[in-house]
Chain A
Amino acid sequence: MTDRSSIPAPADPEPVLAVRDLKKEFPLKKRPAVKALRGVSFDARAGQVTGLVGADGAGKTTLIRTAAGLLAPTAGTVTVLGLDSAADSIEIQSRVGYMPQKFGLYQDLTVEENMALYADLRGVPVAERKARYRILLQMTDLSAFTKRRAGALSGGMKQKLGLACALIKSPKMLLLDEPTVGVDPVSRRELWKIVYEMVEKEGIGVLLSTAYLDEAERCQHVVVLHEGAMLAEGAPATFREQVAGRTFLVDPPSGVKPREIQMRIAGQERILDATIRSGRVRVVTAEADKSPIIDSLSGPWHAEVENAPPTFEDAFMATIPQAHRIDLSKPAQTSTSAEKHGTGEVVVQTRDLTKRFGDFTAVKGITFEVRRAEIFGLLGPNGAGKSTTFRMLCGLLPNTAGEISVAGQNLRRSRSRARSRLGYMAQQFSMYGQISVEENLRFYGRAYGLSRKRLQKRLQWAYEEFGLDRWRDKAAGQLPGGYKQRLAMAAALLHEPEILFLDEPTSGVDPLARREFWLRINGFAQQGVTVVVTTHFMEESEYCDRMLIMSMGKTLAMGTPAEIRTLARTEKNPAPTIDDAFVALAEGTISGNDATPAADLQGDDP
């Protein structure tokens, strides 16, 4: 190891990682090789967080794994701390900390034992361990859990332990592959705090990949990858400058839902992006001109348009090449039977819904109702009881106490009748990987008892609606991630259900596919389909009409996005986000009960 103190501090921090024209291909049998990286070059410096940002399949994981010496480059080089990643991998591996995307610690070992293992593997002298453990445990807030098995930790705690193990021997460089994916906002903030502390105190260089675009703002340097190629790099501020004057906020007129406005704007000429943020529609235009927005909002839709300070996300959306962008212009079409019904009728109702597994109460007296054509969100961190609630709603799990009715059917008594009226999309990809898209759809169609003629019609609808036509004969398992999700959703909608249950539909889906997904969901809701969705992406709850925030099996708060945001409004933070509100609710600094008066919960039928 070099003695760093003898080196004079350079003006520009030295590069700890140098990627030069890196290419990586994965050969496949019979088919052309997958080009995961197509010639990427950039530097990451000491004392900085360098962010690798991009959608799924951008090549983020491949790049980090190559830097860690786990993959050999097809062409080009990765130099880590002056060492070649292919030739000196052992030397690199003894000097860097690495955290894989998948939790890589031993579930059967306790927090302390996992740390001891990594201390042994990295050769941390026994005399130094105690002090190091104390620092890391304090930093990660795990001091109270040293005897707990890693498998029994919450998602956020697991990630923090992973980080502690990666930091066990003050690395010179830290490689983090999507460390915050699937982690609740509270833990995300804590993880970032730890990373910053390490950068400041020990001056290490961090290379971190993320699909959360807001996290890019926290990096000193950002590298945007897209389908294996590097599109841009620079400080987040440089990115923001590029879209200066091209970002706008649209205030929906009273009585108009933000998503109705969003749907009118999205996909218009010279509109690059339209999303819902804190009850307003955020728009990025191709030029510094708001007329395309105004043109698309005529008559009753007329709304106030004001300039907004640009964010990295705006810049990212503007950077992604047009040809690769999803076509937002075609509004979702479905001919569901729900159109026949009016809105306002209660279609899903629970009262004191409780689920116990042995001594453990997973869901404690949840009461809510969902009206026709509503988008209702179930939010909460991992282990909050979302999935359990969800499974009870779908009739997959019997409830211990309380009542559920779905589509007017009591699930206990007439499960199959209720099921024929609901569509369910599981969190995991549940199509048959070996058989083609068409065969999968036909199977689900028959399983729902569609007649031959109706099935043919619905297949045609699915191909057009979800752009699955060209993938028809492809094995479902080989579809790109976004298309897998489309296929799963098409299968859930084949029998034209009135109620759609979506369990973490956007988990592991990149920002582009997520936008498209929500646009489609909005379309379905407008046609009268009721949607119940779980998510841990707090910003996505903005697309919901109402939501319920859960934690540890209990209701923390319920209401519209605006109501939830209002909960967290303080003098210091006059315009809180849902994320802020969630953090405050989870930490107990505010209470959700005020926002959801009992009358609102009971809901008089109109």
Chain B
Amino acid sequence: MNGSAYFRMRLRGILRKEVLQILRDPSSILLAIVMPMVMLFLFGYGVSLDAENVPIAVVTGDRGPAARELAARFSLSRYFKSHTATSMAAAEKTMTEGTVEGIVHLQQGFSSDLATRHQAKVQVIVNGIDANRARLVLGYAGGVLEKWGAVRRARGEPAAVPAVVIRPRIWFNAAADSRNFLVPGLITLIMTLTGVLLTALVVAREWERGTMEAILVTPIRRLDLLLGKVLPYYVLGMMGMVLSVVVGMLLFGVPFRGSFAALFFLSSLFMLASMGLGLFVSAAIRAQFAAAQISILAGFLPALFLSGLLFDLGSTPRFIQILSYVVPARYFVAISHTLFMAGDVWSVLLPNALALAFMAVLFIALAYRKITKRLEG
């Protein structure tokens, strides 16, 4: 047999072993398939950056038709769940208790003021503890008022007319549904988890169980060791990715406007970069517990906070932005947001793809250098 036949035989052996282990040890499947699904459901259903059915108290000190109509508008809006409060004091009490998040106060004389002076005051009070949410609630309240005004104007009735009317149009995520933004980002997180954590754990496990020591004293080459881990877990990770995309599209109705070929190619780059990081961690750290900690610190947390997945990186301090350039997830979040919501915009995809390709090569090369056939690091 020549060298390449030996190589193929060794590789076949080590791949078969890895596949059997994945199939028999539930922890790999758990981490690669079940955990992504759990995260998808948690984020998809549990975390929403939108506000709907916000409980508010509507206090009407006026019995006129205009006031009644406006109050009805609030109770009809899908953004609010309005409760009628008899007095301002009662409304303030419910606000302090936290049962409502805002108060809409129509003062006495609202209808008559409107009829006579063509102008009336509406007081809107919002719980500002969660600043983001407060702004959302205020925005929705403004929307309700505006709609009410527009209807009144159409009927030729007096209404407060703003000097400039804004006609908003939201691009890419027309429904302004935060889920459309979260789910593609989440796929980045899921792939980081499989790529970094799973890869680091399976190598550290071999050190811990002593199987690595036994394997090292065979003619196995460093390349065999590397490929033996990269190939099976690449496939497993990509399966998790595909599953997440399918669930995201079918269950959460997230649009996908790019091409699947681009998604496959670009996510492969990201997967390899993540796995390179995972292998590098595991080549340096040979205990499962420590490897898990380091991969969460070096992989998961940056992917969550420094990738633009939850927060827009543009509004973070300068040094955080600079730091984010070394996080592979940053590039893939940009890619997946583009692919899902805009399409194959190569002017965005290409620079990010290049960055990922560079990181994949760098991390895998580092891991290869770090893999040793000796017991001493």
Q: Which residues of A contact B (CB under 8 A)?
A: 26, 65, 68-72, 89-90, 93-94, 96, 98-100, 102-109, 113, 116-123, 125, 149, 162, 165, 175
CA distance A152 to B17 in the complex (A): 17
Q: Is B90 an interface residue (CB 8 A)?
A: no
Q: Is B13 in contact with A116, judged by CB distance below 8 angstroms?
A: yes
Chain B contact patch, size range: 20 to 34
CA distance A125 to B9 in the complex (A): 9
List the A side residues contacting B24 at CB < 8 Å. 108-109, 149
List the A side residues contacting B210 at CB < 8 Å. 100, 102-104
CB proximity of B46 to chain A, nearest CB, Å: 34
Q: Is B14 in contact with A117, judged by CB distance below 8 angstroms?
A: yes
What 1/0 flags go to B359-372 for Cβ under 8 Å of A? 00000000000000
List the A side residues contacting B63 at CB < 8 Å. none
Q: Is B373 in contact with A71, judged by CB distance below 8 angstroms?
A: no
Known contacts A70-B213, A104-B210, A109-B21; decide if A117 and B16 are in contact (CB<8 Å): yes
Q: Is A123 in contact with B219, judged by CB distance below 8 angstroms?
A: yes
B213-229: which have CB < 8 Å to A? 213-221
CA distance A284 to B211 in the complex (A): 42
Q: Is B286 an interface residue (CB 8 A)?
A: no
CB proximity of A66 to chain B, nearest CB, Å: 10
Q: Is A120 in contact with B217, judged by CB distance below 8 angstroms?
A: no
Q: Is B376 an interface residue (CB 8 A)?
A: yes
CB proximity of A541 to chain B, nearest CB, Å: 30
List the B side residues contacting A68 at CB < 8 Å. 217
How many residue pairs at the A-B interface have CB separations less than 8 Å? 99
Q: Is B20 an interface residue (CB 8 A)?
A: yes
Q: Is A93 in contact with B217, judged by CB distance below 8 angstroms?
A: yes
List the A side residues contacting B13 at CB < 8 Å. 116-121
Q: Which residues of B contact A (CB under 8 A)?
A: 1, 6, 9-10, 12-14, 16-17, 20-21, 24-25, 209-221, 373-376
Question: Could you list 6 A-B pairs, sorted by A, with CB under 8 Å?
Answer: A90-B373, A94-B218, A98-B214, A102-B210, A121-B218, A125-B1
List the B side residues contacting A119 at CB < 8 Å. 13
Quick one: closest A residue to B372, CB to CB?
Answer: A70
List the A side residues contacting B221 at CB < 8 Å. 90
CA distance A136 to B157 in the complex (A): 98
Q: Is B373 in contact with A89, judged by CB distance below 8 angstroms?
A: yes
Quick one: closest A residue to B7, CB to CB?
Answer: A123
CB proximity of A514 to chain B, nearest CB, Å: 24
CA distance A108 to B21 in the complex (A): 6
List the B side residues contacting A109 at CB < 8 Å. 17, 20-21, 24
CA distance A89 to B216 in the complex (A): 10
CB proximity of A121 to chain B, nearest CB, Å: 4
CB proximity of A167 to chain B, nearest CB, Å: 13
List the B side residues contacting A100 at CB < 8 Å. 210, 213-214, 217
Q: Is A108 in contact with B218, judged by CB distance below 8 angstroms?
A: no
List the B side residues contacting A162 at CB < 8 Å. 214
CB proximity of A108 to chain B, nearest CB, Å: 4
Neighbour of B217 across the interface among A69, A123, A125, CB < 8 A: A69
CB proximity of B204 to chain A, nearest CB, Å: 15
CB proximity of B162 to chain A, nearest CB, Å: 67
Q: Is B14 in contact with A65, judged by CB distance below 8 angstroms?
A: no
CB proximity of A164 to chain B, nearest CB, Å: 12
List the B side residues contacting A103 at CB < 8 Å. 210
CB proximity of B236 to chain A, nearest CB, Å: 15
